[in-house]
Amino acid sequence: MNTGSRIAIAAALGWFWEYGHWGAVLSVLLIPLVVMGRNKLDRYAVASAYYLAGSHGIPGGAAVFFGHGHLIEGIFLWLTSSALLAAGWAFADRPWRVAAVLVLDALPPLGFFDWLSPLAAAGVLFPGMGSIGLLLFLVVAGWTAWFTRWLITRHKAARDNGLSNAVLMPSGILALVVTMNITYSPLPAPAGWIGVDQNVGPITGNMLADMERGQRWIAHTESVATAGSRVILLPESMDIWWAGNADEVKNAVPKGQTWLVGASVPVGPALMADGIEAVSGGGWKEKKGAGEDDTSRGITSGFIRNHGARLLFVSPFPVPVSMWHPWHRGHGYYSASGVGFEAGWWEPVQKIDGIRAWASICYDQLLPWVWMEGVVQSPQVILATNNEWWARGTGIPEIQAATAWAWARLMGVPVLEAENG
């Protein structure tokens, strides 16, 4: 293993450092390390080392989520996704190619599993600048590739233009980066908005156990959501949105409060949406009456009944293979392998309590292309919901947290978080 690959592994492991979100910062090192490669094989080896090291928690997470019999599937996903993401970097020996690889890896189909993307560093360098900051980062990435080649090759043409390109241009960018980071101040969450963590584990499919689980998380929410709370965010997959479960939640919400409940919402036979239901005390007051079909989400019509709530958000891309698998139909009641989850693809901003909110649901928090949907819509607050019971010890929660921090920083908006352990 060469020195570049070792440094790439160290940069990837930075994503697992719980404090400081160093992964988003160190991910920029992937660019010069790849460009320094002497040939395609060297560049591919460096990128492979980065992605393999950073996503090594996939097999362990798959074994917990599906059971130990699925460890081989987790290993296959880990190796395959790393190999595919590294492939484009083998050709990244020019500035425009580096920028192209960053974009192509971020967009579907490679974007379905583009963890650890250096694009997250845009939020480190250009906080609050949104789409402009993202474009500036691509310029910085291209310049980094150019400067790395200039240092290595020392061609006469590069030396002749070296002062203007290698000093003046980065000096201007550096001044902007310093200015933005000095003046940037994170905004607080809207007054009366809170995120409530839970520790109730997964839905089991056992009716009595799930009823007791539901009563526990509702009681905990009631104890935390004080009279001054207006909007309460709850974690992903708190309930399956059958009529009985929905009515139990609706009856628990005090007047004047809105609970944003992470739920698996039935949208068709053996088909769910991984979404967030808005339940307001006294019923959801909208032009659309309770019980009407919700076709505005682009999900299967004719199946959803609102039960005094409204389906506000649907995950653009639930976990591939385990949740999203359109190549075969789901079956059964509710389990990771027995029910399919529909992809929403586009997550629009929704107005809640007069504030423009945008949601990032679990796996979506790892994917740059989903975050770009939020960047172009300029929300006022981000709602981040997770299930972490299956990912303890894998490093995945740390990667999610670091990625969400970086992209929210790029947008310059506060994040409301809710996790279920």
Print pLDDT tens along the chain (421 aa).
788 899 999 999 999 887 778 999 999 999 999 999 999 999 999 999 999 999 998 888 777 766 666 688 789 889 999 999 999 999 999 999 999 999 999 999 999 999 899 999 999 999 999 999 999 999 999 999 988 888 887 654 545 554 455 555 567 778 888 898 999 988 999 999 999 999 999 888 788 999 999 999 999 999 998 878 999 999 999 999 988 899 999 999 999 999 999 999 988 888 889 999 999 986 544 434 333 344 445 444 333 445 568 999 999 999 887 788 888 777 666 555 578 889 999 999 999 999 999 999 999 999 999 999 999 999 999 999 999 887 777 888 899 999 999 999 999 999 999 999 8
Total domains in the fold of the chain: 2
CA dist., res. 272 & res. 300, Å (int):
10
Could you tell me if residue 365 is inside a domain? yes
Token pair for residue 377? Answer: 């819509």
CA dist., res. 403 & res. 15, Å (int):
9
| pLDDT computed for residue 170 by the predictor | 66
Q: Are residues 292 and 150 in the same domain?
A: no
Q: Where are the alpha helices (DSSP H) in 55-168?
A: 58-66, 71-87, 95-106, 122-125, 130-153, 156-160, 162-163
Measured in whole angstroms, how far is the alpha carbon of residue 61 from the centre of its chain? 16
Q: pLDDT tens digits, residue range 376-413?
A: 999 999 999 999 887 777 888 899 999 999 999 999 99
Helix axes 169-183, 130-153, angle to 10 degrees: 140
| pLDDT computed for residue 61 by the predictor | 78
What is the H or E stretch that residue 418 is in?
Answer: strand 415-420
| Sign for the pseudo-dihedral over CA of 392, 398, 404, 407 | negative
Question: Helix, strand, coil: what percent of the chain each, to 5?
Answer: 50, 15, 35
**Rounded to whole angstroms, what are the CA distances from 406 to 22, 89, 130, 349?**
10, 23, 11, 19
Could you tell me if residue 297 is inside a domain? yes
| pLDDT computed for residue 391 by the predictor | 77
The DSSP annotation for 156-225 comes to HHHHHTHHIIIIIHHHHHHHHHHHHHHH--PPPPPTTEEE--B------S-HHHHHHHHHHHHHHHHHHS
Q: Are residues 200 and 247 in the same domain?
A: yes
Q: pLDDT tens digits, residue range 21-37?
A: 899 999 999 999 999 99
| pLDDT computed for residue 289 by the predictor | 38
In the listed set 137, 160, 183, which residue is the last one of a domain according to the structure? 183
Please tell me whether the overall predicted TM-score, pTM, comes out greater than 0.85 for this model.
yes
Q: What is the largest CA-CA distance in the chain?
A: 76
CA dist., res. 153 & res. 11, Å (int):
25
231, amino acid identity: V
Q: Are residues 241 and 148 in the same domain?
A: no
The residue to which tokens 């090192």 are assigned: 29
Q: Are residues 85 and 218 in the same domain?
A: no
Q: Are residues 247 and 318 in the same domain?
A: yes
What domain range is 103 assigned to?
3-126+129-183
What is the H or E stretch that residue 24 is in?
Answer: helix 22-26
Q: Are residues 17 and 145 in the same domain?
A: yes
Could you tell me if residue 188 is inside a domain? no
